[in-house]
Every structure is written in structure tokens, then in C-alpha cells.
Amino acid sequence: MSLTLTVDGPRWRAHLEDVARTHPGLVPVAKGNGYGFTLGRLARKTQWLADREHDVTTLAVGTYDELPEVASRWRGDVLVLTPWRPFVEPVDPALARRVVHTVSRYDDLRALLAAEPEARLVLEHATSMRRHGMTGRELWDAGALLRKHPGARVEGVALHLPLQQGSHLGEVNRILTSTVAADAGLTTAWVSHLTDAELKSLSASWPDFTFRPRIGTSLWLGDRGALKVTATVLDVHPVERGDVFGYRGRTAPKSGHVLVVSGGTAHGIGLEAPTGDQSVKARAATLARGGLDAIGFVRSPYSIEGKQRLFAEPPHMQASMLFVPQGARVPEVGDQVDVRVRYTATTFDRIVVEG
């Protein structure tokens, strides 16, 4: 009855180990919906990587609210990616020594050190993302302030780079130059979205720096072939042209079947873009052929025997209605159909790790 993520366990674990082996200092990122796997499962898998002696000492979460989800399932350090702000509630004292804060403004550094003089932290340097981060000048001031707080544990500089086509090397070189100038004892760079070649080149150019790649997507979701998403067919209704169905009292444009499948808005199943070319001429041509998209049916992420099917109406909360025109093979109640999802926006009813 479920929207199910089925994981080929041996293949997925082999991929995780491969990424860990080729990225020393790896910082697995577990945030949001846990890339579809849940935060708890990613924390356990991170522990598994460490237990297998990979160089993984820190797990990153997105927010302070996510700390409890991972802290009991993973024994190492936890980096919080969202920068600390004065309005963040103090971390549970039992956890405080394991938490590494991200500090992205000089004033916040001052406030954090006042509240927690022995805080562990990384200083975030601004990048072309323009999301969070200090300028070189602020970092310099931060270095001066930190020299007056010997109890603070500064774990490095953090950079969040855009996902981009071109090279990041010029930008990272500029930032590391400004980091060295800040004289804040920063010798570790926590980085995102660098290619393996860029990491290699940076390690060669900056031998005094240790690079720690924060990786989420290409770690957990990097081998899509190990993952399969399916929904259950819950009901099948034959319809004739003109039959009424659904919440909105739509009529079937031609004969076929209305299918009810598991998965709806609560799982993150959304409407897809209308199919094909939507120019007036194209719509007229589709209409002439009796195309269903021309009468307002939109593409769904469900496919049956390799053919992507149309929603009969917008997804419901936990189920969706599809229209399968006459002539196509009709699945039976209980059959599984494939679903294409955005893993970072999907909540599965069940996650089955096989093997």
C-alpha cells in the first residue's frame, strides 16, 4: 500500500565505501529528509563507515533542530551547516563537545564566544553563492578576536561553493589566500561541490591545508542504479468516454482505465510539467490526434512498463489517479509501478534495504 524505496544493499554500501575511500576526511551530509533515507538511517550508515575504518570523523546536519535525530545513532562530531545566530537555543550540554558550529558573521563570533568560550567552530568565508559567510576583512577581524580566546576550538574555514559547470579553482585560491592572511590558525578547509580533480589540484597547491569535502547527493544518491522507487496499484476502474471521476468531477476523454496508485502530496508527489510542446499549433495538433495532454492532463512521475502515464487529476494526499487509455496493458490491484521522484523532496512509506 506504499510508496517504497528499495535499496540494493550490497551495491549501495559498496558505493558509500568507494566514496569514503576516495575522499579522505569525508564529511557526510545528512539534512532535510535525509535525501529520502531519513536522517537516522544516514547517521547509522555514517557510523558504519567509521566502524569500517574509513576516515570519517564528522557528520554534517543542516540545522540545530536536526541534532537529536543523528546524535544517538552516530558517535562522532556533528557539524551544523546553518550558521549559528544569537537566537539559536543552546545545544544540549551532553552534546556540546561534539558539536561544531558554523560562524558566518563577526558579531556572531563575538556573541558565541561570550556564551560559550570553549565552542568548537568553523568560520565560513563568503563565496559567489552569496548565501552566508564573512568577507576577507571580517575573517581578519575574527582572527584577531580568536587570538584573545584561547579556549575556543577553531576547526577551520568553511566554503559553500555553487554547483557549477566551470572550475572553482580560481575562487577557492582567492579565498584560501584571504584565509591565510587572516592569520586565524585556519589550516583545514571544509568544502562543498568540488570535483575530485579540483580537490586533488588544491591539495597539491595548498600542502599546509587539509581539505574536508562535505558530500550529500553524490554520496547517498550517487549510484542511482542501487535505488528503485515503486508505488502500489490500489484500484483499477474501467471508464468509457464521458464517465465522471475524481474530486473534481472530470469526465473521461475517451475509454480506458482510471488507476489509483499509492503516493500523493504528503509524499512529495507533485504535478509534472505538461507534456511536450505547448505552442498553440502543437496543442491543436495534439487535439486533432486526440492527445490527452491537450485536454489538460499532465504528466505524472509514474510509469507503467516503461511508459510515463498522465495524472487523471492532481495528486491526492496519499494516493494519485492516473489515466491509462484503451489499448495499453492495465496493471492489477497489488502490482507495483515505477515512480520517478526527487529524492530530496520525497517521504517514503517504506525503505527496504535488500541484502
Ligand X SMILES: *Cc1c(COP(=O)(O)O)cnc(C)c1O
Residue ranges binding ligand X (CB under 6 A)? 29, 31, 81, 160, 192, 214-218
Q: Which is nearer to ligand X, 29 or 113 (CB)?
A: 29
Distance CA 123, CA 156 (A): 6
Q: Which is nearer to ligand X, 222 or 276 (CB)?
A: 222
Distance CA 62, CA 66 (A): 7
Distance CA 234, CA 273 (A): 25
Q: Residue 277: is it exposed, middle or buried by C-beta count within 10 angstroms (0-12/13-18/19+)?
A: exposed
DSSP 81-119: -SPP-TTSPPP-TTTGGGEEEEE-SHHHHHHHHHH-TT-
Q: Which is nearer to ligand X, 30 or 239 (CB)?
A: 30
CB of 344 to ligand X, least distance (A): 8
CB of 256 to ligand X, least distance (A): 40
Q: Which is nearer to ligand X, 42 or 258 (CB)?
A: 42
CB of 34 to ligand X, least distance (A): 11
Residue at shortest CB range from ligand X: 216
CB of 186 to ligand X, least distance (A): 17
CB of 136 to ligand X, least distance (A): 19
CB of 104 to ligand X, least distance (A): 10
Q: Which is nearer to ligand X, 215 or 239 (CB)?
A: 215
Distance CA 353, CA 111 (A): 45
DSSP 140-168: HHHHHHHHT-TT-EEEEEEE-PPP-SS--
Q: Which is nearer to ligand X, 81 or 229 (CB)?
A: 81
